[in-house]
């Protein structure tokens, strides 16, 4: 019986472990392997060379303090990531706080939470394209501003710019911040808030000293979701940036389109390493496993 009891947890985890192995570990291992292969304009040859990684960071060190193309691309991607993370955190925390603490009825909470999921009933591409009639040169925003007499000429930077990419990112990914923060807030013991209020704490003091610390697990998980998606995105940047804005994901997509699979794999490995470093930094701040 003790042996069966010892084996049972492994048998229960085996299906998920098999899926994890087939669809994550093995593909990642193949990408790492291909990143060391050599290639020409006509063929790809198995090998073990670091030339692809040298090509990714070609002359980056010797050009310092001037940034090379790779460093500028990573800086652009990290800038988008930081801005989108900050905006989604503020909006997501506000929405989650309203649902968890301002809405008293569990039924209404569930209904409003369901409303938040409505945008996910349509394709991401459709949700991106929906901004074009709003932000375009002849779009609703420009026409409204001209009609109100606030501007004489359409604002050019509303679409196919960093602004349109950022606002689309926020639109697409805020819900990934709402869900884990909302889940963390639901687990907060309301008696702690009442005790803080009885002790004379103001609303802001309760928010900063009670709710935020107890929601840090949800904040960390939501941050991981948003950061990982934005760092690897190339569709949103390509479509809403008018193919004029550089990103790491766009670079990899371009290399793949030219059949430069080994250097694209090397770029992907470097991107994965960068994302993992960010995630490790977050987990150093918040011990997610202990808090869950």
CB 79 within 8 A of CB 167: no
Token pair for residue 81? 């990531």
Tens digits of residue pLDDT in 260-285: 899 999 999 999 999 999 999 888 88
State residue 105's pLDDT score: 85
Cα distances (Å, whole numbers) of residue 34 to 42, 128, 288: 16, 33, 33
| Domain assignments of the chain as residue spans, ordered by start | 67-291
State residue 31's pLDDT score: 94
Q: Is the pLDDT of residue 1 over 50?
A: no
pLDDT band with cut points at 50, 70 and 90 for residue 203? confident
Backbone angles phi, psi at 44, to 5 degrees: -125, 130
Tens digits of residue pLDDT in 11-24: 888 899 999 999 99
Residues of the chain above pLDDT 70, percent: 95
Rounded to an integer, what distance in angstroms lies between the CA atom of residue 255 and that of residue 265? 9
Task: Supply the CATH classification number for the domain 67-291.
Answer: 1.10.3720.10
- Number of DSSP helices (H) and strands (E) in the chain, helices first: 17, 2
Checking DSSP bridges between strand 38-39 and strand 44-45, what pairing results, if any? antiparallel
Looking at residues 170-175, what average pLDDT do you find? 93
Tens digits of residue pLDDT in 86-136: 999 999 999 999 999 888 888 998 899 888 888 888 888 888 888 989 998
How far from chain centre, in Å, is Cα 129? Answer: 20
């Amino acid at each position: 019986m003790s042996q069966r009891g010892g084996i049972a947890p492994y048998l229960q985890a085996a299906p998920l472990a098999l899926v994890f192995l087939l669809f994550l570990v093995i593909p990642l291992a193949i990408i790492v392997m291909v990143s060391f292969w050599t290639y020409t304009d006509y063929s790809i040859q198995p090998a073990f060379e670091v030339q692809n990684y040298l090509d990714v960071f070609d002359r980056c060190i010797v050009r310092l303090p001037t940034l090379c193309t790779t460093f500028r691309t990573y800086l652009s991607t990290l800038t988008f990531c930081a801005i989108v993370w900050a905006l989604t955190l503020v909006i997501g925390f506000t929405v989650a706080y309203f649902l968890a603490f301002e809405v008293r009825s569990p039924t209404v909470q569930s209904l409003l939470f369901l409303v938040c999921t409505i945008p996910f009933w349509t394709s991401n591409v459709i949700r991106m394209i929906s901004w074009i009639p709003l932000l375009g040169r002849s779009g609703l925003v420009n026409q409204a501003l001209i009609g109100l007499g606030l501007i004489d000429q359409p604002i050019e930077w509303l679409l196919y710019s960093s602004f349109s990419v950022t606002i689309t990112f926020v639109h697409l990914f805020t819900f990934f911040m709402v869900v884990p923060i909302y889940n963390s807030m639901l687990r907060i013991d309301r008696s702690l808030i009442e005790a803080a209020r009885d002790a004379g704490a103001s609303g802001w003091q309760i928010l900063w000293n009670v709710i935020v610390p107890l929601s840090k697990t949800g904040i960390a998980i939501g941050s991981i979701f948003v950061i990982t998606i934005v760092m690897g995105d190339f569709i949103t940047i390509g479509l809403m940036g008018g193919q004029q804005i550089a990103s790491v994901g766009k670079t990899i997509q371009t290399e793949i389109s030219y059949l430069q699979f080994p250097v694209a794999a090397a770029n992907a490995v470097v991107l994965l390493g960068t994302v993992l470093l960010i995630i490790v930094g977050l987990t150093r701040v918040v011990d997610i496993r202990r808090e869950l």
